[in-house]
Amino acid sequence: MKARQILLLAATFCATTSVDAAGIGVRAGTTGVGVDFGWTLAPTLSARIGYSGLGYKTTIEESDISYDTKLTLSNLSAFLDWSPLGPFRITAGIVGNGNKADLTGTPTGGTFTINGVPYNAADVGTLSGSVEPGRSAAPYLGIGYGNVAGAGVNFYFDLGVIFQGAPTASLSASCGPALPPAQCTQIRNDLAAEQQQLQEQLDKYKVFPVLSLGVTVGF
């Protein structure tokens, strides 16, 4: 299920549901800066759709390689909030997960070390990679305080996890123009082994933590 399908389903659900109260919230947290629209379904049940995102760049130094990293956070959400105890609630739903990290590596000392094997930078050419979530549509479960559809101006808080599945790693390299085909094949084999090692590390991170705080205005 793609993110726009989630939005379409949420909009259809909203259009066919009786709304007693509604509100708009603005929040910031581990999924970026976002906005929510919420409406009541019953005295203790409400729904909301939202979007959050953020993009920033950083540099990661690893052994003899410097990685220029671009991290993009992009999350479209459709949640149900159940509030059995006043403002305290349990939240479940689905997230269209478009988070992604792109990396471009350059050597810090004139050589790349790939799978423990040193290569001249001119032989490797360009080293690049990416990390993407295992699921583009991921379940969400959490707890929280406050309601986006509540009357007046209020704060709201969310703590939960996105069950994103194990992120998928991809590494690639372009061989230098003067490099013999056999050595180019060896570089790619070593890069595949390096990718497998990275994938084994990423397999441990099957959930994405969510922590956010926002302010809402009801109407």
Q: Which pTM does this prediction carry?
A: 0.82
Number of domains in the chain: 1
- 65 within a domain of the structure (yes/no): no
Say whether pLDDT at 183 is over 90: no
Q: What's the pLDDT at 16?
A: 46
Residue range 50-75: average pLDDT?
88
- 86 within a domain of the structure (yes/no): yes
Closest CA to 75 of 57, 89, 60, 93: 93
- 39 within a domain of the structure (yes/no): yes
- 154 within a domain of the structure (yes/no): yes
Rounded to 5, what percent of the chain is helix, strand, coil? 20, 60, 25
Mean pLDDT of the chain: 87
Q: What's the pLDDT at 112?
A: 79
Q: What's the pLDDT at 81?
A: 97
Domain that holds residue 19: 1-52+80-93+137-164+210-219
**Nearest 5°: phi and psi at 75?**
-135, 125
- 218 within a domain of the structure (yes/no): yes
- 101 within a domain of the structure (yes/no): no
Q: What's the pLDDT at 4?
A: 54
- 202 within a domain of the structure (yes/no): no
- 6 within a domain of the structure (yes/no): yes
Q: Is 67 within 8 Å of 103 (Cβ atoms)?
A: yes
Q: What's the pLDDT at 63?
A: 65
